[in-house]
Amino acid sequence: MEYNLVLKTWFKPQTLKKALALLHKKQAHHFLFFRHAAALVCEDDITAMVNIVTGTGKHKFVFRDGWCSQCVAGKTGQHCHHVAALAMLCLCEYEKKNRLQPVTMAFADSHWQKIGHYLSERLKPGQTTITWHENADHMRLSVLQESGLSLQVRLHSEAAAELQGLGITDKNKPPAKQKDILVPLAQELAQKTATENERALLQRGSTSKQMHNDQSCWMWLARFLFLHLPAEDISLSLHDSGRFMLRPSGQTELFELLLARHHSWELLRQLDPESYGFCLLPPAQQFNRVQFNDDGNTIVVENRCRLSDGTRHNLATLEKQRYGSRYFLNNSFFTLAPVPPEERIDEEEKKVLSLFSLPALTEKKNHRFYGLLQCDPRFSQTQQTGSAG
Ligand SMILES: [Zn+2]
């Protein structure tokens, strides 16, 4: 009922009734959306398209440029039931708040969009193994990468066929037979929504990074999952393997994404980790601990950090807790504060760091480092030896 209320500005009541009947009779076969446009394939390969743009005043959004391959828009610009059915499919409940919003706008702000973008960036062809497993009542998509990234999705066979058509293909198996209309339709959506700069690039046979990502098969998968798995039902947790895992809270077999460990933070930072119960700590301060080793002849420089709660950790040991640019410890993420250039001791310097090179080093380096050494009662004696040598 609410659909009628929202759509009455653009469609006559009898058109909406016919559109609803079309959907009930399952005559809508493919629904695609891309940026601010959407398309529908109905019975007899009739295609409809529409743009959804931000509105002004009482309309938060506006359906514009409705187009159908079979029908001509009425004299008053009123569109047919194919376009109306497409418009109905374009509306989704916004964050379970009982308010209808176009999928195009909801997706742009969604976690699924971020997941799709991450997958497009990470799952490069040639570095990714895609396998479609056929089962009695469903298909299972399995995507693996040496980086540790693993993606499993359970789908109906029609959905699997659609996604194969949009590029998620198993190199060992021929893709399911496609309707010839799907790929050209997806391309047309991309062309219709391209910016002026992107059109210029397309004419030169090139593409923008954004368009490349938007057209990636992984973004098509993300759009599909957005329509079927609400992002608020997705949980984020640490898997036994030490990798972060995204999966639906209830029906766990539908979707599972294990992140590539050293590329975890790239996605996690965008998903608001605090909303999943994780803490974000201020950057940890780095410092060097300088001491003699057991035989008393060599000085050992240890890179350490101090967390906001005062706890100190050896960075080498902490490496096991690293997920890209962030460390994860006791349910909290933190990064390291940069070290001022004058306080840095690089690896080369560590290698040559001996008792005899110390005076030279301390002259070049800061006074804080020198001060640390002086605190060691053994040092005051050995330093003299060093200077004398
Ligand atoms: Zn029509």
Within-domain flag for 214: yes
Within-domain flag for 280: no
The pLDDT value given to residue 386: 39
Same structural domain, 254 and 321:
no
Within-domain flag for 24: yes
- Look up the pTM and report it: 0.85
Cα(353) to ligand 1 centroid in Å equals 79
The pLDDT value given to residue 364: 43
Cα(189) to ligand 1 centroid in Å equals 18
Same structural domain, 46 and 189:
no
Same structural domain, 79 and 136:
no
Cα(387) to ligand 1 centroid in Å equals 92
Cα(10) to ligand 1 centroid in Å equals 14
Same structural domain, 88 and 200:
no
Residue numbers of the domain that contains 83: 2-100
The pLDDT value given to residue 97: 67
Last residue within a domain, chosen from 225, 244, 273:
273
Same structural domain, 67 and 161:
no
Same structural domain, 128 and 52:
no
The pLDDT value given to residue 141: 97
> Over its length of 389 residues, how does the chain's per-residue pLDDT go in tens digits?
588 888 998 999 999 999 999 999 999 999 999 999 999 999 999 999 999 999 888 888 999 999 999 998 766 667 899 999 999 999 987 666 677 899 999 999 999 999 999 999 999 988 999 999 999 999 999 999 999 999 999 999 999 999 999 999 998 888 777 767 899 999 999 999 999 999 999 889 999 999 999 999 999 999 999 999 988 889 999 999 999 999 998 867 899 999 999 999 999 999 999 999 999 999 999 998 888 888 888 888 889 999 999 999 999 999 999 999 999 999 999 999 998 777 776 666 665 555 544 444 444 444 344 333 333 444 444 444 433 33
Task: Write out the residues surrounding ion ligand 1, Cβ under 5 A.
Answer: 68, 70-71, 80, 82
Within-domain flag for 131: yes
Within-domain flag for 279: no
Cα(183) to ligand 1 centroid in Å equals 20
Within-domain flag for 326: yes
Same structural domain, 121 and 220:
yes
Last residue within a domain, chosen from 52, 79, 100:
100
Within-domain flag for 105: no
Cα(215) to ligand 1 centroid in Å equals 26
Last residue within a domain, chosen from 100, 122, 153:
100
Same structural domain, 62 and 31:
yes
The pLDDT value given to residue 75: 64
Cα(46) to ligand 1 centroid in Å equals 7
Same structural domain, 132 and 215:
yes
Within-domain flag for 58: yes
Same structural domain, 260 and 119:
yes
The pLDDT value given to residue 373: 39
The pLDDT value given to residue 95: 65
Same structural domain, 147 and 266:
yes
Q: What is the 3-state secondary structure (H, E, C) of the chain?
A: CHHHHHHCCCCCHHHHHHHHHHHHCCCEEEEEEECCEEEEEEHHHCEEEEEEEECCCCCCEEEEEEEECCCCCCCCCCCCHHHHHHHHHHEEECCCCCCEEEHHHHHHCCHHHHHHHHHHHHCCCCCEEEEEEECCCCEEEEEEECCCCEEEEEECHHHHHHHHHCCCCCCCCCCCCCCCCHHHHHHHHHHHHCCHHHHHHHHCCCCCHHHHHHCCHHHHHHHHHHHHCCHHHEEEEECCCCCEEEEECCCCCCEEEECCHHHHHHHHHHHCHHHHCCEECCCEEEEEEEEECCCCCCEEEEEEEECCCCCEEEHHHHHHHEECCEEEECCEEECECCCCHHHCCCHHHHHHCCHHHHHHHHHHCCHHHHHHHHHCHHHHHHHHHHHHC
Q: How many domains, in total, are found in the chain?
A: 3
Same structural domain, 211 and 335:
no
